[in-house]
Amino acid sequence: MSLMRLAYASEATFEAKPVEKGVEPHVARILMTSRKNNAKDQLVGGLYYGNDRFFQYLEGEEDAVRRTYDRILKDDRHRNIVTLIEEPLKSRTFSNWSMKYVPLSRDVRAFLDDQGLESFDPAAFTSEQCEKMIELVRNSSQEQNLVNRDGSESVGDAPQVLSSGMKTGLIVAGVVLVGALVIGGTML
């Protein structure tokens, strides 16, 4: 079994819907399918979307990477696909993200500034810039936006499970509210 890694750049064909928070709906659907399929195929990687452009990095068993890339190449939600990296890999370099999503983040803006690039155009990246992007995706500490099975998004970075601190806070807030209502009621 041999491992390989692959990175490509492409342009979105859809018109991005403005979203105040969370993931653009087309991208949310792509992420949902990717996470389902990639987890099954033990593929890991990251997807960056910004400026109507995609940058995706995939690594895993060669067969699985190639099969997935064949499907991606046929997808009409993007065009002008440019393969940036396609090579064997000695060992896996990513944690267990089936498809980590990186929106336009401060890290990436800083990277573009650092490189003297005005806009995000991954098709024009040098190989060094590609490696830096992969590093950014790998190290991204962004909270992952949650994508539901129906393709809708759980808004923003809202935690799915409340932390114990938040639970305690909510209970205290509830007790204070009930107390205020009782006091208010007795004063009427």
Interface with ligand FAD, residue 140, by CB under 6 A: no
Interface with ligand FAD, residue 145, by CB under 6 A: no
Minimal distance in Å, beta carbon 58 to ligand FAD? 6
- For residues 29-58, b (16+ Cβ closer than 10 Å) or e, as one string? bbbbebbebbeebebbbbbbbbebbbbbbb
| Binding-site member from 63, 75, 86, 157 for ligand FAD (CB under 6 A) | 75
Q: What does the per-residue mask of binding to ligand FAD show for 25-54, with x meaning CB under 6 A?
A: ----xx--xx--xx--------x------x
H runs (alpha helix) in 12-163? 25-40, 62-74, 106-115, 127-139
Would you report the helix, strand and coil content of the chain in percent, each value rounded to 5?
40, 25, 35
- List of residues contacting ligand FAD (CB under 6 A): 10, 29-30, 33-34, 37-38, 47, 54, 56, 68, 71-72, 75-78, 99
